[in-house]
Structure 1
Amino acid sequence: MAYRYWCGECGHQTSWLRESEAEQKHIDHYVTEHPGIPTGGRVENREKETEPGSGCFLVLVVLVLLLVLPAACQR
């Protein structure tokens, strides 16, 4: 499972990481950017990691459709 922490002060967010790594980066952010303020914000989690390249595949499908549809619609 992956976690992402959001800063309650400025909207900064960590990358999707293991819980302990994301929490440590969140704490480090507060120490550096908001000294003296207790950590706050929210935590997101996701069950399944997305497969690498799935976003590229979607872009390719859209591009192909954009090329094929105009050709199919011409009379």
Structure 2
Amino acid sequence: MAYRYWCGECGYRTPWLGESRAQELQIEHYAKRHPDVAPGGSVEKNRKKPGEGPGCLTTLGLVILFLLLAVSCHH
């Protein structure tokens, strides 16, 4: 699972990362940008693993669909 932490003080957000790394970046951000404020904000959870894209079947289906469209437009 991937996590993205949002700053409660500004628009900063971490990239989608593992929970501990995203939390570390959030803490570093607060230390640099909001030193007198305790880290806060919100956390988003993404059930996909970082870097996980569409599955092979989805990609194959789209390729076939585009080929069918190309053939139908040719005639």
Distance (Å, rounded) in 2 between the aligned partners of 1:27 and 1:50? 21
- Figure out how many residues of one structure are paired with residues of the other and give that number: 74
Structure 2: stretches of 5+ with no match in the other structure: 55-68
Q: 1:43: which partner in 2? A: 43
Superposition deviation, residue 49 in structure 1: 2.9
Judged with a 3 Å threshold, the aligned counterparts in structure 2 of structure 1 residues 36 and 13 are, in CA distance, closer, same or farther, namely: same
What TM-score do the two structures reach when normalised by structure 2? 0.67
Q: Within 1, Cα distance between the matches of 2:23 and 2:41?
A: 11
Instruction: Among all aligned residue pairs of Structure 1 and Structure 2, give the percentage whose two residues are the same amino acid.
Output: 52
TM-score under structure 1 length normalisation: 0.67
Which 4+ stretches in 1 moved above 6 angstroms? none
Q: Which runs of 5+ in 1 are unaligned?
A: 55-68
- Where does residue 26 of structure 1 map in the other structure? 26
1:20 Cα deviation after fit: 0.2
Query: Alpha-carbon deviation of 1:25?
Result: 0.1
- How big is the shift at 1:36? 1.2
